[in-house]
Amino acid sequence: MEVVIVGAGSIGLLIGSYLSEAGMKVVFFVRRREQAAIIREQGIRRINSDGTETSLKANAQTDEGKLPENAPWIVATKYEGVAPVVELVHKRNLKNAVMFIQNGYGHFNLVSGTSMPNVFFATVEHGAGRLDDRTVSHNGVGAMKIASYRGDEASFDFMKSVDSPDFPVTFANDAHQIVLRKVLINCMINPLTAVLQVRNGELLENPDAKTLFDQLYEEIMVVFPEMEKDLPKSAVEEICRRTKKNRSSMLTDRMNENPMEIESIISSILQMGERRGGSLPLLQTLEKMLLAIDRR
């Protein structure tokens, strides 16, 4: 079976490595010809959490016309990469099943408003870091959660073959619920790590960072009380422990002087909180600090 993965960053490479290991024919759709050539010639490489290495075959293309016609798509790009994918799907009138890996809430708002017939959303809580154009480091075992939004609910059943202790995959009934859960997790980890310039684990190990982390959790749960059962503070802390050596995506962007996903992660939750009549002063302060850093 062939699977298209749009984007070969840390999460795209990680998912692709486990799909290839499960026997799927993985085709990456990337922007740069140099990266496509390296993946075609050398395959992809995964540094496992125990330090071992796994090399796997994969294909890569920059021309959408060379992608397999009926293969499902897994979109693992940042928010700014989603609109071009949606535009491409509409331009070519594709009926392929498409699954969007969520980091922020912007994906959900953008995609749910389209007429795409077969849409899934997913979240990934693994720690991963791209080391080069073909290599990903699996820094911490988490979970991948998948939910159908509309269309054929069996379109991504093949992901069950990837489920393992090293890469757990679960299916949920409510796409909005898993997306909101992931965005709230990101709001508790990403802005603090990016402002303080610390790895995830330091939010628990540094007493002052832990105080901010606790305050941010309590503030968010006052506005989103329905999420407290599904997202207790212990669950967010466990994610920090599992990915303690990982740099959040927002911190990585800051270090690489790339635009941070502030609007799609933080601003979207602030706007949602405002509509609920809630107050998120610490998160709002972090948003302004990060916007100032981004504009600098």
Q: Quickly list DSSP for 193-251.
A: HHHHT--TTHHHHSHHHHHHHHHHHHHHHHH-GGGTTTS-HHHHHHHHHHTTTPPPHHH
Catalytic residue chosen out of the listed positions 95, 145, 182, 233: 182
182 catalytic? Reply is: yes
Cα separation, 270 vs 284, whole angstroms? 7
What's the DSSP call for residue 8? -
How many residues appear in the chain?
A: 296
Catalytic residues: 182
